[in-house]
Amino acid sequence: MRLAFFTLLILISTISIAQQNPFPLKSIQEIQWVHPDSLRKADSLQAAGVAFNEAAFPHWLEDSRYWHVPPLSSAQYGDTFTVVGIVMNKPQMYALGNRYVVFIQDTAGGPWSGIIVLANDTTSSNTQATGIQVLDTGMVVKLVGRVEEFPASSSTGYTELFTVIPDPQTGQIIPIEVIDWKPQRPDPVEVRVSDFVSGNASTGGHKINFSTGEQWEDVYVVIKNVSVVNRSGTVGGRWTWWIGDDSGNVMQVYDGSRYFRGGSGGFDPNWTPPPIGTKLEYIRGVIVGVASGYAITPLYPGDVKILSYAPEINHAFTTPQKREPAKPTSTDPVKVRAIVKKTDPDPSVNVDTVKILYSVNYGPFNELLMSKISGDTLWEGTIPAQPNGSLVRYFFKAVDSKGQSSQLPGDTSNAYFYFVKDGELRIKDLQYTILNNGNTGFWDLRVTVRGIVTADTSDFPNESSLLLNPGSKDQLRVYIQDDTSAWSGIRLYGTKSYVAKRGDSVEVIG
């Protein structure tokens, strides 16, 4: 009798759990798997130079349900499932807007075993009700999520599970269940850069390798024996950096983890990626989608292991002036300065040699030794005067006493540049660029230009609220122009420019 009563109780509680969660159990592999024919088709379109977007690449196969390109109808997404996986990161250490994010992996591991789980905020009572905020590495969880693809309009989005799902009958948020807690996260799977990209994704012209890469989306992997081939910082202190193998295949490293992010979103706002030229014994992380294809996102300290340290070269500073004069004439030799620091922790290692390599009018690069001019880190070299109208491009190389070397920029097609010009500096000189990234040759340099004010603060009344955010780039706008041809206009930043009114003729130092 007693046994029967117990059985009945268990039966009732099982039924009530089933009622609380009507969403079917689905493995991560079942959600992530894409038919190999679809992947090969995507590869072949890339090889043929066809843009991989919605128009060129509709869904070919019914069974590739969650895939990079937008669905034929939006109803195709939005399926909600119950999923079991092991948590790969604490949500508070991942930065993706004001959201909680955890990567989970099927405990069996292998291809198609990872997925990213998101709550769309960190503060609402609904999000709190899931319990996502207390998850930690190694927990095995059962959770309910709605499948989506982000970004939906891009070929390089990735599959996501949005948790915070209410029970359709009770309206209550279905909490995440912790069913086990392993002592550590699973070991990473070894993959290669060439599984994700053929060619250099940092410079473009590369092919994304869908048929070998897609299976590792959101999975924790390790890539061994790569070098840092490029890195660039942004105004907000964030970095984009790139790793490459010995065959010239290069993929991006994404700064999703706060341990590997600079600026306000990082645990250390002054964090920087290893200098260009650094050799990594390995980098571990989860694979995500970025504009250039697949990227690896290291999660925790220790996920990047340095094999050899390259000197760090910096050409982004304002004091002292990094190039002098900023606008050389045909009689001016040009002093170029760089700050070079050793990064090897071995105290006996020093920066040995720093060189400028410069090219005139796309001719061959000439080497020029720089000399240390003050303290330990400021180096200077002088590029000889060149004829009026010459284009001078330059980059840097540094070698330390262990023979470890680095270069800036890593990609010489984005070398620094200036034009030799006799006569007044015009706005066009500031705006015109030879670089694909649109950067001016006068970055961080102090110049004086003249122009007529074409628009003042009264022309952008709707932006007055942005004044509440002083110091940001989102300030009221003032534009000046000195000609009617292309490249002749420029925007002035800062409250000091607000005195300028439309029609004024002004001289600006900035």
Window 274 to 333, contacts with Ca ion (CB under 5 A)? none
- Nearest distance, CB of residue 300 and Ca ion, angstroms: 24
Side chain identity at residue 503, one-letter code: G
Residue 344 in contact with residue 404, Cβ under 8 Å? Answer: yes
Q: Do the Cβ atoms of 497 and 509 come closer than 8 Å?
A: no
Show Cβ contacts of residue 282 under 8 Å, excluding neighbours closer than 6 positions: 222, 223, 224, 225, 226, 304, 305
Distance CA 459, CA 466 (A): 14
Residue 367, beta-bridge partner list? 357
Nearer to Ca ion, 32 or 488 (CB): 32
Kindly tell me which of 230 and 292 has the beta carbon lying closer to Ca ion: 292
Give me the least distance between CB of 156 and Ca ion, in Å please: 11
User: Of 106 and 217, which CB lies nearer to Ca ion in the complex structure?
Assistant: 217
> If binding is defined by CB under 5 A, does position 159 make contact with Ca ion?
yes
Whats the size of the chain, residue-wise? 510
213 vs 311 by CB, closer to Ca ion:
213
The contact pattern for Ca ion, residues 210-249, with x = CB under 5 A and - = no contact, is -------x--------------------------------
Cα separation, 235 vs 471, in Å, equals: 12
Total Cβ atoms within 10 A of residue 354: 23
Report DSSP state, residue 372. E
Least distance from C-beta 454 to Ca ion, angstroms?
A: 48
Give the number of other CB atoms < 10 A from CB of residue 56.
13
Pick from 406, 96, 97: nearest CA to 231: 406
Distance in Å, CB of 193 to Ca ion, minimum: 20
Task: Please say which residue, 118 or 492, places its beta carbon nearer to Ca ion.
Answer: 118
DSSP-derived letter for residue 257 is B
Residue 155 touching Ca ion (CB under 5 A): no
Q: How far apart are the first and last CA of the chain?
A: 89
d(CA 469, CA 160): 33
**Shortest Å, Cβ 278 to Ca ion:** 31
Residue nearest to Ca ion (CB): 159
Minimum CB–partner distance for residue 101 and Ca ion (Å): 16
d(CA 259, CA 254): 12
Closer to Ca ion at the Cβ: 89 or 159? 159
Cβ proximity to Ca ion, 289 vs 410, nearer residue: 289
Question: Shortest gap between Cβ of 140 and Ca ion (angstroms)?
Answer: 22
**Reduced to 3 states, what is the DSSP secondary structure of residue 75?**
helix
Using the minimum distance from each CB to Ca ion, give the nearer residue, 43 or 217.
217
Torsion, Cα 425 430 434 438, to 10 degrees, reads: 180
Minimum Å distance from CB 149 to Ca ion?
7
Residue nearer to Ca ion on the CB measure, 65 or 327: 65
Name the nearest CA neighbour of 443 among 455, 462, 430: 430
Stretch that binds Ca ion, among 36-44, 158-166, 307-315, 479-487 (CB under 5 A): 158-166
Nearest CA to 218 out of 278, 119, 289 is that of: 289
The CB-of-67 to Ca ion minimum distance in angstroms stands at: 6
> At a CB cut-off of 8 Å and minimum separation 6, what does 97 contact?
none
Q: Which is nearer to Ca ion, 159 or 209 (CB)?
A: 159
For Ca ion, which is the closer residue by CB, 276 or 287?
287
Inter-CA distances, 387 with 329, 333, 410, 417, Å: 8, 11, 28, 15
Residue 77 CB, nearest distance to Ca ion (Å)? 12
Q: How far is the CB of 492 from Ca ion (least distance, A)?
A: 45
Counting contacts by CB under 5 A, is residue 209 touching Ca ion?
no
Residues 346-385 within binding reach of Ca ion (CB under 5 A):
none
Phi, psi dihedrals of residue 82, rounded to the nearest 5° = -95, 130
> For the chain, what is the total number of helices (H) and then of strands (E)?
6, 29
> How buried is residue 102: exposed, middle or buried, by Cβ count under 10 Å (0-12/13-18/19+)?
buried
Give the C-alpha distances (Å, rounded to integers) separating 485 from 327, 340, 426, 442, 482. Answer: 21, 40, 12, 20, 9
C-beta closer to Ca ion: residue 76 or 359: 76
Least separation, in Å, of the C-beta of 214 and Ca ion? 6
Question: Which helix or strand (DSSP H or E) is residue 431 part of?
Answer: helix 427-431
Which residues ranging from 9 to 68 are in contact with Ca ion (CB under 5 A)?
A: 32
Between 32 and 297, CB nearer to Ca ion: 32
CB of 251 to Ca ion, least distance (A): 17
Footprint of Ca ion on this chain (CB under 5 A)? 32, 159, 217
